[in-house]
């Protein structure tokens, strides 16, 4: 039972990192588009 909890927490952390990366890239893209104007 202990091992599955670790796997879940690790995959959850990976998911959070992925969401942050997507949000950051979207934010950077928006900033670049604003600068281009």
pTM of the model: 0.64
Residue ranges of the alpha helices (H) in 1-37?
2-36
- The two three-digit tokens of residue 11, written as one number: 């995959």
Which tens digits make up the pLDDT trace of 1-37?
688 999 999 999 999 999 999 999 999 999 999 988 7
- The pLDDT value recorded for residue 2 is 83
- The pLDDT value recorded for residue 37 is 78
How many angstroms separate the CA atoms of 11 and 33, rounded?
33
- The pLDDT value recorded for residue 16 is 98
């Amino acid at each position: 039972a202990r091992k599955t909890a670790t796997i879940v927490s690790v995959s959850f952390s990976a998911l959070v990192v992925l969401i942050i990366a997507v949000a950051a890239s979207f934010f950077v893209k928006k900033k670049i588009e604003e600068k281009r104007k």
